[in-house]
Amino acid sequence: MKRGINHKLGFSAIVLLISGVVCKSLGALFRLPLTNLLGIEGIGVFQLVMSLYSFALVLTSGGIATSLSKLISAARARGQRNTIGYYLKYSLFVSGCVGILIGLLFLLFGKRISQLQGIEHSQSYSLFVFLLPIGAVVAGFRGFFQGYSNMLPTAISQIFEQVFKFVFGLVFAFYFSNMGVFNGVFGAFLGIALSEVVTVIFLFLVFVSKSREFFQLKTLQEVKFARKEFLSANIPLTISASILPLVSAFEGLFIIPRLAVAGFANGFATKLFGLQTGIVGAILNFPLIISMAVTTALLPNLSFMISKGLAGKQMIEKGLKMLLFLLLPTTFGVVAVCKQVFELVYADMNGQILNVAFSLMFFGAFSIVFTSLMQFFLMLLQANGQFRFAMLITLMGGILKANISFFLSAVPQINIFALVLGNLSLSSVVCLLALVKLKKTVPLTMSFSYLFMLIFATMCMFFVVYTFINSNYFSSFLNLILAVALGVVVYVVFTIPVFVEFLTRKKRKGLKVNV
């Protein structure tokens, strides 16, 4: 059984990793013409609205996919299949109603919110009343399939969502941008709304084709039990998931005025915010697809094993090793080539803005590593039912991040870098507190020699790639391609012991089976 679960874990992680790469690539491609279409200041406005949309979406459905994945996998392990249908119906009803209510608030108070952000009235907020309940339905169906360790519907729906977002978003942004930047932002969000509709239709059709898995509860006692179990998991998960977007929304409200206190004009302050969240953030968050793929695939499988009374030590170690092996070179490899990427794809990025972007990338890379580890450790807590503790430490980290971002952003020497420092503070504090808790409940170990080898290989790769790409031996594009290829070769060479150990272990297992 363990071998089958490990195989399923690897396949699920690969499926989500591939879809994540495709989606992040499409997301980056979406922002490229959108930035050139709206300008850096326009993409700053887009990100100000997006920060509140992300927060509202998390409030609506942030814990749905995770809680359904955890509860459904555990119910399968215990043989309680008749509770699964109720979990899905109840989650869709609750999150759908919450989405409509929050959307109405943005519809009514959108003008006031825009004033607080220091921008003109954005009509994009009126679309939230449609976007939020649709997003809740998407999250519910994805969580249902993930509970069965079936990641294909989630992966395919994510790709569909990004493809139609790319097409519809750019078409409507182009059409409405002729009437001004804010109308262009409205067009982009209108395209996002249509892409969500397509995604819901796809997931619903897949669900109908597998409706035999949708069971009815038989007794009132079963209904009460399922409702209590769902709420005990979903409420703290939703709160936990909403903390980071809440802080980001808070930053979106105060960052422009605070940068003004630091001595920056409103227009340049908006550019800095757009640079950090819309350009640097979009590229730097690319490696996070690795941690999302590993944790999303690991959660239902690990919950299943724990519900069966198994510790899952081997699965946890395998997941952590896989995460670090892929995360470290990807993160710092992106940083090594970022200047050349910015020069190639953003026509108006040069001089001071380019140097600021590289510095944001370099320091932000460390927060990305800690954020990925934070996601992994929080997943372990959730798999073990430690929902409230995960919520508590995330809340503590969020408060710390909000304070650091607010106070340090008004310091001229720190300015927009306060957001990076806030991210690093949040993730490192959550990692530390999670490790203290996990040490008592979860068999979590990591070989120091393995970790040292990965860090050393990543450092060598970074310096080789950074030196090569800045030597300008060839054209910018060819230089970029060769640098990436060289980085892969260097990292593989320095991590050969990892592959040797893997093959040796596999051979030993094969010998054991034969005997």
User: In the prediction, which pLDDT does 514 show?
Assistant: 34
Please tell me the distance from the alpha carbon of residue 242 to that of residue 491, in angstroms, as a whole number: 37
Tokens standing for 4? Answer: 């089958």
User: In the prediction, which pLDDT does 64 show?
Assistant: 80
- 8 A C-beta contact, residue 123 and residue 111: no
Give me the DSSP letters along 157-178. Answer: HHHHHHHHHHHHHHHHHHHHHT
Share of the chain above pLDDT 90, in %: 26
Tokens standing for 182? Answer: 């804010």
| More confident call, 6 vs 299 | 299
pLDDT in tens, 18-69: 887 788 778 777 877 887 788 777 777 887 888 788 888 888 887 788 888 8
Characterise 309 by phi-psi region: left (phi > 0), alpha (psi -120 to 50), beta (else): left
- Mean pLDDT calculated for residue range 471-499: 87
User: In the prediction, which pLDDT does 512 show?
Assistant: 41
- Mean pLDDT calculated for residue range 483-488: 92
In this predicted structure, the answer to whether residue 268 has a pLDDT above a threshold of 80 is yes
pLDDT level of residue 290 (50, 70, 90 thresholds)? confident
At residue 417, what is the residue type? F
User: In the prediction, which pLDDT does 1 show?
Assistant: 46
Residue ranges of domains in the chain:
2-446, 447-515
pLDDT in tens, 371-412: 999 999 998 888 887 888 998 999 999 999 999 999 999 999
User: In the prediction, which pLDDT does 370 show?
Assistant: 94
In this predicted structure, the answer to whether residue 324 has a pLDDT above a threshold of 50 is yes
Enclosing H/E stretch for 215: none
User: Sign of the C-alpha dihedral, residues 174, 176, 177, 178?
Assistant: positive
User: In the prediction, which pLDDT does 505 show?
Assistant: 60
User: In the prediction, which pLDDT does 2 show?
Assistant: 47
At residue 262, what is the residue type? A
- Mean pLDDT calculated for residue range 450-467: 93
Tokens standing for 194? Answer: 């249509």
**Phi and psi at residue 471, to the nearest 5°:** -85, -15
Please tell me the distance from the alpha carbon of residue 229 to that of residue 478, in angstroms, as a whole number: 56
Share of the chain above pLDDT 70, in %: 87
Q: Three-class SS string for 368-436? A: HHHHHHHHHHHHHHHHCCCHHHHHHHHHHHHHHHHHHHHHHCCCCCCCCHHHHHHHHHHHHHHHHHHHH
Enclosing H/E stretch for 199: helix 181-209
Give me the DSSP letters along 268-315. Answer: HHHHHHHIIIIIIHHHHTTTHHHHHHHHHHHHHHHHHHHHTT---HHH
pLDDT level of residue 502 (50, 70, 90 thresholds)? low
At residue 373, what is the residue type? L
Give me the DSSP letters along 75-119. Answer: HHHHT-GGGHHHHHHHHHHHHHHHHHHHHHHHHHHHHHHHHHHTS
In this predicted structure, the answer to whether residue 254 has a pLDDT above a threshold of 90 is no
pLDDT level of residue 430 (50, 70, 90 thresholds)? very high
User: In the prediction, which pLDDT does 73 show?
Assistant: 81
In this predicted structure, the answer to whether residue 463 has a pLDDT above a threshold of 90 is yes
In this predicted structure, the answer to whether residue 491 has a pLDDT above a threshold of 70 is yes
Q: Which 8-state DSSP code applies to residue 474?
A: S
pLDDT in tens, 332-359: 999 999 888 888 777 667 677 888 888 9
- Mean pLDDT calculated for residue range 244-249: 78
pLDDT level of residue 148 (50, 70, 90 thresholds)? confident
Long-range contacts (CB closer than 8 Å, 24 or more residues apart) made by 203-209: 203/137, 203/138, 203/141, 203/142, 203/153, 203/157, 204/141, 206/141, 206/145, 206/153, 207/141, 207/144
- 8 A C-beta contact, residue 110 and residue 31: no
Q: What is the mean pLDDT of the chain?
A: 82
pLDDT level of residue 511 (50, 70, 90 thresholds)? very low
Which range has the worst mean pLDDT, 222-226, 254-258, 415-419, 464-468?
A: 222-226
In this predicted structure, the answer to whether residue 310 has a pLDDT above a threshold of 50 is yes
Tokens 């070989």 -> residue? 447
pLDDT in tens, 189-224: 899 999 999 999 999 998 887 655 444 545 445 556
* CA gyration radius, the chain: 23
- Mean pLDDT calculated for residue range 178-184: 80
pLDDT in tens, 107-140: 888 888 887 776 676 688 888 999 999 999 998 8
Please count the other Cβ atoms lying within 10 Å of the Cβ belonging to residue 197. 15
Which range has the worst mean pLDDT, 79-83, 86-90, 447-451?
A: 79-83
